[in-house]
Amino acid sequence: QVQLVESGGGLVQAGDSLKLSCAASGRTFSVYGMGWFRQAPGKEREFVAAIRWSGGYTYYADFVKGRFTISRDNAKNTVYLQMSSLKPEDTAAYYCALAPRGLGSLLFRRSYDYWGQGTQVTVSS
Neighbours of 58 (CB within 10 A): 15
Q: Which pLDDT belongs to residue 102?
A: 86
The torsion angles phi and psi of 17, rounded to 5 degrees, stand at -120, 160
Instruction: Give the contacts of 16 (CB within 8 A, at least 6 positions apart).
Output: 86, 123
Local structure of residue 108 (DSSP, 8 states): S
Write down the pLDDT at residue 1. Answer: 85
Q: Which residues of the chain have pLDDT under 50?
A: none
In the 8-state DSSP scheme, what is residue 27?
S
Q: What pLDDT is recorded for position 8?
A: 97
The pLDDT of residue 28 is 66
Give me the pLDDT at residue 61, please: 97
Q: Which residues have a Cβ under 8 Å from the Cβ of 63 and sit 6 or more positions away?
A: none
Is the Cβ–Cβ distance between 61 and 46 less than 8 Å? yes
